[in-house]
Homo-oligomer: A and B are copies of this chain.
Amino acid sequence: MDDKPIYDLFLKLNLPIRSICGGLGTCGKCKVLIQKGSEYLNQVTNAEKKFLSNEDLESGYRLACQTKINAKYIDILQELKPPHFRIFLPSELLFEDFNILTFGIRKKTVLNPAIKKFFLDIKKPTLDEPIPDFERVIAEIIAKDNTIKEDQIEIDFNLINQLPNILRENNHKITLTLWNDNEIIECEPNDTTENNYGIAFDIGTTTIVGYLVNLDNGKVYSLASKLNSQTAYGEDVITRLSFIKNDQKGLQKLNLAVLNDLNNIISKVCEKSKIKSSQIYEATIVGNSVMHHIFLNLDPINIGLSPYIPVIQKGMNIKARTLNLKISKNGYVYIVPIIAGFVGADTVGVILSSNINSQKDLTLAIDIGTNGEIILGNRKFLATGSCAAGSALEGAHISDGMRAAAGAIDTIKIDPQNFDVSYSTIKNKKPIGICGSGLIDAIGEMLRSKILTRSGNFDKEFIDQGRILRRNNNIEFIIAKREETSIGKEIKISQNDIRQIQMAKAAFYSGTRLILKHLDTKLEIKRVFLAGAFGNYINKYNAKFIGMIPDISDENIFQIGNAAGTGAQSLLLNKDLREKVKKLLKKIQYIEIATKEEFQKEFTDAMYFPHFNLELFPTLKEYNNIPKR
């Protein structure tokens, strides 16, 4: 028997632990406190010695990914009375209590769902009209809705055999559920037309949201969200691709993880809205290309290798049972098409929700998630590209970074005179870390206070004074002092952290510039849509101030929330949009940003605050007093 990693055990308990490096022991994030049972575990590894202080080690802290139950004790433990272990998980490690952005702004969608229910009083057969059961049913459907073509209606093969008995046992009064004017997918006794639901899923790299929608009135009846359990195998898509490459069953594990998440969400919304999962007849799915492939159990490996080729772009209708999704057993899943490379169906959702393809002016939409996507266009053209930008903005790779959970510092002000810090936290709890909006605020404020220069360095003048300290070969600015926090130590932003944010914001800005250059347009960006969980909480002015988005006035910057999820809802509510998407796809240009020749220079210039070239941000007068060095 092998050693058993405790990381896997938590996964089995449906308590996946956040991991940035995918369990390689290179991020040091998965710190847990072993309160009982340490004697059965392996020795502390070198990776742990690197990330845990002596104090940590003495207290019993370990890295979950490095900690294993020693194989030789496993038999013994089975004999002993449980619990064998008591392990404390710091709250930011647990996938609960997060501020997941679940609502987007949905334009009024014309109702024309793929699912239609018909209550029918079927004509009984006679010797003079001995019409077979199925054909009699079709005749009644056509009589009710003459837009439907008789010739095109089929029936799920599993269902045909139920038809004769349901008809005869219910005096020929039945309710039929028709999908896409094309296939009968349910057949129930009596009138069940009022139970007609669909579910729209947004599978984010980090977060999954499911919206239960009533298909008769278009209203979201309930929603549920969950951190993507795949996070246990790696925080970003690149780490997950490596996991798939290196583990023979990697794809299967990730597929199962996300499938369980979706089925959990289905259970949750059904419970909330007191409906049966069999009354959900269709699901729509958006997600980036890697999430799309993993959900479909398609090998995504070529998406990660130049020239970055997905297996399939096209939208697909797949039986829910084929995918093991627990909705109506004959129901369908509409897989929203992806665009190219990493730019997936989520971006299709953003385009639909933002209506960027109908804008007169050149418009930029950026979807800020664990993966970042850029869409640039107007009613004449559309271009997209992706950048691996989001994870720092969600707190990854940041010393005291965390997601937008209770206790996260989310807004920050710095007094330029004495560098005193005031901040707010989510749910007003004692702070335990900084989330993305806090980081953007902190950097904006540090720039305005001239603690930072435009190149992102701490100004030497202030180092080793007050809150700015040189420690462990790094320079740190103390945001919250030890006594203010609930983690027994201070919360800080380090020089390294600032570099991470610089890279993220540079990725968005330089990506936008490169797409613009590729389009070879003279047009100027007049409008910006910020989409995604993170984008909805940040300070618009500071986003512009640090140079993440172009210099346009705040009133032309719109926070559109979880636009990908709203897009998935619209596609559920109006099947004609699926045809529209087919046409949109032909129009969209995909640009592989990072392989462009000018990428390196553009990226380096964009690392400056707000940019190497200040002329690009003419309204930000404050920068005139901030040194460049």
Q: A155 on the interface (CB 8 Å rule)?
A: yes
Number of copies: 2
Chain A residues touching B, majority SS = loop
Interchain CB contact under 8 A, A125 and B309: yes
Interchain CB contact under 8 A, A296 and B133: no
Task: Name which of A133, A296, A338 has the most chain B CB atoms within 10 A of its CB.
Answer: A133
Interchain CB contact under 8 A, A311 and B157: no
Q: Residue on B with the closest CB to A323?
A: B157
Interchain CB contact under 8 A, B307 and A126: yes
| Partner among B131, B133, B312 whose Cβ is within 8 Å of the Cβ of A133 | B312
For chain A, the bracket of interface size reads: 35 or more
**Which chain B residues border A165 with CB–CB below 8 Å?**
299
Give the residues from 575 to 629 in chain A that come closer than 8 angstroms, CB to CB, to chain B. Answer: 582, 590, 592, 595
Task: Name which of A312, A316, A322 has the most chain B CB atoms within 10 A of its CB.
Answer: A312
**Which chain B residues border A312 with CB–CB below 8 Å?**
132-135, 155, 160, 163
CB of A428, distance to nearest CB on chain B (Å): 48
**Which chain B residues border A164 with CB–CB below 8 Å?**
299, 302, 309, 311
Give the residues from 292 to 314 in chain A that come closer than 8 angstroms, CB to CB, to chain B. Answer: 296-299, 302, 306-314
CB of A26, distance to nearest CB on chain B (Å): 29
Interchain CB contact under 8 A, B161 and A130: no
Q: A76 on the interface (CB 8 Å rule)?
A: no
CB of A106, distance to nearest CB on chain B (Å): 28
Interchain CB contact under 8 A, A135 and B314: yes
**Which chain B residues border A23 with CB–CB below 8 Å?**
none
**Which chain B residues border A302 with CB–CB below 8 Å?**
133, 164
- How far apart sit A310 and B161, CA to CA, in the bound complex (Å)? 11
CB of A255, distance to nearest CB on chain B (Å): 11
**Which chain B residues border A163 with CB–CB below 8 Å?**
311-312
Q: A80 on the interface (CB 8 Å rule)?
A: no
Q: A318 on the interface (CB 8 Å rule)?
A: yes
**Which chain B residues border A132 with CB–CB below 8 Å?**
309-313, 338, 340
| Partner among B127, B151, B154 whose Cβ is within 8 Å of the Cβ of A306 | B127
Can you list, as one digit per residue, whether each of A118-133 has a CB less than 8 Å from chain B (1) or not (0)?
0000000111001111
Q: A234 on the interface (CB 8 Å rule)?
A: no
CB of A117, distance to nearest CB on chain B (Å): 21
Interchain CB contact under 8 A, A592 and B318: no
Can you list, as one digit per residue, whether each of A154-188 has a CB less than 8 Å from chain B (1) or not (0)?
11010011011100000000000000000000000
CB of A555, distance to nearest CB on chain B (Å): 37
| Partner among B133, B322, B340 whose Cβ is within 8 Å of the Cβ of A309 | B133
Interchain CB contact under 8 A, B307 and A127: yes
- How far apart sit A272 and B296, CA to CA, in the bound complex (Å)? 40
Q: Residue on B with the closest CB to A137?
A: B312
- How far apart sit A164 and B135, CA to CA, in the bound complex (Å)? 42
CB of A578, distance to nearest CB on chain B (Å): 12
Given A132-B309, A313-B135, A340-B132; A299-B161 close (CB under 8 Å): yes
Q: A547 on the interface (CB 8 Å rule)?
A: no
Interchain CB contact under 8 A, A130 and B590: yes
CB of A288, distance to nearest CB on chain B (Å): 14
Interchain CB contact under 8 A, B130 and A307: yes
Interchain CB contact under 8 A, B322 and A134: no
Can you list, as one digit per residue, whether each of A304-344 has a CB less than 8 Å from chain B (1) or not (0)?
00111111111010100010000000000000001011000
**Which chain B residues border A161 with CB–CB below 8 Å?**
297-299, 311
- How far apart sit A157 and B582, CA to CA, in the bound complex (Å)? 20
- How far apart sit A312 and B164, CA to CA, in the bound complex (Å)? 10
**Which chain B residues border A127 with CB–CB below 8 Å?**
306-308, 592, 595
Q: Residue on B with the closest CB to A297?
A: B161
Task: Name which of A126, A296, A313, A314 has the most chain B CB atoms within 10 A of its CB.
Answer: A314
**Which chain B residues border A157 with CB–CB below 8 Å?**
296, 316, 318, 322
CB of A135, distance to nearest CB on chain B (Å): 5
> Known contacts A132-B309, A133-B309, A160-B311; can you find 12 more A-B pairs with CB under 8 A?
A127-B308, A127-B595, A130-B309, A130-B590, A132-B313, A135-B312, A135-B313, A157-B316, A157-B322, A160-B298, A164-B309, A164-B311
Interface on A for B, CB 8 Å cutoff? 125-127, 130-135, 151, 154-155, 157, 160-161, 163-165, 296-299, 302, 306-314, 316, 318, 322, 338, 340-341, 582, 590, 592, 595
Contacts A/B (CB < 8 Å), 15 sampled: A126-B307, A127-B306, A127-B308, A130-B341, A131-B340, A132-B309, A132-B313, A133-B302, A133-B309, A134-B314, A154-B314, A160-B311, A163-B311, A163-B312, A164-B311
**3 closest pairs, A vs B, by CB?**
A134-B312, A132-B310, A132-B313
